[in-house]
Amino acid sequence: MAKVSAFPYLSHRIIFFADLMIAAVSFTLTCLVCSQLAGQTSLWQYFWGKLAAVVVISGAFFLIFKTHSRIIRYSTYRDAMRIFIAVLFANVFFIVINKIYSVNFQYSPLSKISFFINFLLTFGFIFFFRMAVRLLFDLSYMNNAKNKKKPILIYGVSAPEISLAKMINANMSLPYRVAGFVSPKTGSGQRIIGQPVYSRNKLFANTHKFEDIKAILIDPQHIERNEKRLLAEICYHNNIELLSVPPLEEWQNGLNTHKIKNINIEDLLRRPPIEINTESIRSNIEGKTVLVTGAAGSIGSEIVRQLCGFNPEILLLCDVAESPLHELNTELDDKFSDIKYIPLIFDTRNRKRMRRIFEKYHPQYVYHAAAYKHVPLMEMHPEEAVLTNVLGTKNVADLAAEYNAECFVMISTDKAVNPSNVMGASKRIAEIYVRILANHLGKDETKPHTRFITTRFGNVLGSNGSVVPRFTEQIRQGGPVTVTDPEIFRFFMTIPEACSLVLEAGNFGKGGEIFVFDMGESVKIKELAEEMIRLSGYEPYKDIDIVFTGLRPGEKLYEELLYSEEAQASGIHEKILIGKIRDVEPSKILPQIDELIKLTDTGPRMDIVAKMKEIVPEYISNNSIYCELDSIEEEETVELPPPIDVFY
C-alpha cells in the first residue's frame, strides 16, 4: 500500500519544465488542427522557430505569475485562476507578435481561431496535470489514512463546517479524517467534498450503521444544549468520541490536535452562556490605574486578563500567593507585553501595607477579589474567614474611600444569602459594611465620592477548588466520583461570565447595589457528575461509580436564589438584575464589626461565630458544631428578622 512518504513534493523546477512541455505539445496540436482545417501543409514552415518562441514566451509568463511555485497536491481555484491569466497573457502576446511579423496572417497557425485553440489546450492540459497529481496524492493518502486515522463525522453542513473538513483532510498531522457530515435539517443522499451527508434522524435511529465512525466533531457554540446532551448519550452508547472545536476565529488560520478536544465542560451549563458587550467599559478603564486584589486567583486572574483588553494605564496585581502571582506575571509577559502592570505581594489584612499602594499609585478602580471561599475550611477556622473576608474588605474599602477612588467593586457569593456557614456569613458582613460606606459617602452630593458596588456569584465552573476540576481528576483516575448528597443543587456560571459581571457592575453601578446574574435553573450535582462521566466516554455506576459522602459542615442542599420575584431588570442587560442590602443602623453594626475583628485575636471560635450570628441574625448553621448556638437562640425564643435583601 502506498504511503504518504512515497510521494514527495514535486520541485518547482519539475513543475516549471512540465508546464513548458505542455505548452509545446499544445502548440504542436494547435498547428496540426489548424493545418487540417486550412488544408495546407505549408503552414508547417517555420514551425520550429515558432515553437521555440512559444516555449520562451510561455515560460516568461509562467515565471511572472509564479504558476510553478505552489504545491500541486494542495492546488486551489486561486491557483487555477493564476494559470488561466498566465496562459491568456501568453497567447495574447503570441497573436500580437504574429500579427506584426506574419505575412499571411489569415492562415497562420496562430490566427484568431488558433489562438483560442492553443489557449484552451494549454490551460486544459496544465489544469488536468495538476488535478491528476492532486487526485493521485489524495487517493494514495486516503487509502493509507484509512488504517492510520480515525474516521469522524462533522456535525453541520454550513460553510464553517465545510472549511473545517477541508482543513482536517489537508492536515497530515491530525489523527482524523472526515468520513461524512451530519445535517441537522436536510435529508441524506447528498455529498459535500466527496463525502456523504447523513440526516440527524438517520444517525440517531440507525447508529449501528456507523460502526466505523470513531468520533463526531461539533462546534458547541452553534448547538443547543439538549442536542449536545443527546449526542453525548448516542456517542457513549456507540463508543464514539464527542469532540469540539473552538470558535471559528481560533482555528481558521490553522488547526492542530490541541484545538480539537473533548467537549468543553462549560457546555454543561443548562442555559446559553451570558454575553456582555464590554466595549462600553473601555471608556471608563482606558488610561486609568486599576487595582485588583486576589489577582492571582481564578476569578482575579480572569479579571486581569479582561482588563488588559481595555488598555489601562497601570494594572496593580495584589496577592499574597507568591507562586500563582509569578505564573500570572509570566502569562502577562507573553500575552500582554504592551500593558504596564505591577505585581504586588501584599496582604489585604495588613492595613498599613495596603496604604502604601494607595499612597503611591492612587488607584481609580478597585476590584476586590481577595477572599477565603472554601466552606469546610472556614467552618474550622472562623477567625481566618473574619480576618480575610471582613477585615480585608474593610481595609481596602476604607482606603478606596480615603484616597477618592472612583469605584470599588466587591466580589461576594450566593452563600451570603441566608447564610448557613461561616464563609457565607463573613461575606454577608462584608456586604453590609460596603453598603454602609455607600450610604455614608453618598449623602454629601457636593463632593465626589467612591461608588461602592457588590457582585454576587453562584459556583464558578472551573475555578480553583470547584467541583468540576475535582470531578475531572477523579474521572481521570478511574473514579469513584464523590458527591456529598444525591439531592444537592447549585447555580453555575463560567469564569468569563463572572468576570464580565464584575466589570459591568463597575461600569454602570451608581453605588450601594448588588449585581447578580439570572443564571437560569440550578444544576443537580449528581446529574452533573453523571454527565461528565458520559462525556468522558464512560457509563456512570458501571465504569465509574458515584459515591455519596454526606453534607459537609455548613453545606446546604439548595443555595438561595440570588434575587426575589420582585426583582426588576437592571436595564443594562436582560440577564442582569440589581438588588441592594436593606439599610442598617451604622451606630449599632459598626461597633459589632469592630468587636468581631477583636475577637479573632483572643476569643474562642464559638464566641466569634456567636458574634457573627448577632450581626447577621438570619445566619443559621447547618450540619455544623455551631448549630448549638442556634439552639440557644431557639430556647430564648428570639424572633429572627427576615432576610435583609431588598430588590428594586
pLDDT tens track for 358-396:
999 999 999 999 999 888 899 999 999 999 999 999 999
Q: Cell triple for residue 419? A: 447564610
Examine the pLDDT at 10 and tell me if it is beyond 70: no
Considering Cα of 291, then 294, then 299, then 301, what sign does the dihedral take?
positive
3-class SS of residue 2: coil
Name which residue leads in pLDDT, 247 or 255.
247
Q: What is the mean pLDDT of the chain?
A: 78
Q: 232 and 242 in contact (C-beta within 8 Å)?
A: yes
Burial string for 45-57 (b: 16+ CB within 10 Å, else e) reads eeeeebbebbeeb
- Residue ranges with strand state E in 502-569: 513-517, 523-524, 546-548
Tell me the pLDDT tens digit for each residue of 34-69: 777 665 455 566 778 778 888 888 888 888 888 777
Q: 621 and 552 in contact (C-beta within 8 Å)?
A: no
Q: Cell triple for residue 627? A: 448549630
pTM beyond 0.85: the answer is no
Q: 69 and 108 in contact (C-beta within 8 Å)?
A: no
- As a whole-number percent, the residues of the chain with pLDDT over 90 amount to 23
For CATH 3.40.50.720, list the domain ranges present in the chain: 149-263, 279-633
Q: Cell triple for residue 101? A: 511579423
Lowest-pLDDT range of 72-81, 293-302, 345-354, 467-476: 72-81
pLDDT of amino acid 105: 41
CATH number for the domain formed by residue range(s) 279-633: 3.40.50.720
- Say how far apart CA 482 and CA 515 lie, in whole Å: 32
Considering Cα of 345, then 351, then 356, then 361, what sign does the dihedral take?
positive
At 203, the pLDDT band (50, 70, 90 cuts) reads: low
Q: First and final CA of the chain: distance in angstroms?
A: 73
Q: Cell triple for residue 610? A: 456567636
pLDDT of amino acid 19: 85
Q: 281 and 351 in contact (C-beta within 8 Å)?
A: no
Decide yes or no: CATH 1.10.10.10 for domain 149-263. Answer: no
pLDDT of amino acid 3: 40
pLDDT of amino acid 537: 63
Scan for cell 489524495, then name that residue. Answer: 138
pLDDT of amino acid 397: 96
- As a whole-number percent, the residues of the chain with pLDDT over 70 amount to 70
- Say how far apart CA 372 and CA 64 lie, in whole Å: 68
Examine the pLDDT at 291 and tell me if it is beyond 70: yes
At 425, the pLDDT band (50, 70, 90 cuts) reads: very high
Tell me the pLDDT tens digit for each residue of 431-459: 999 999 988 776 666 566 899 989 887 76
At 528, the pLDDT band (50, 70, 90 cuts) reads: confident
Mean pLDDT score, 590-602: 93
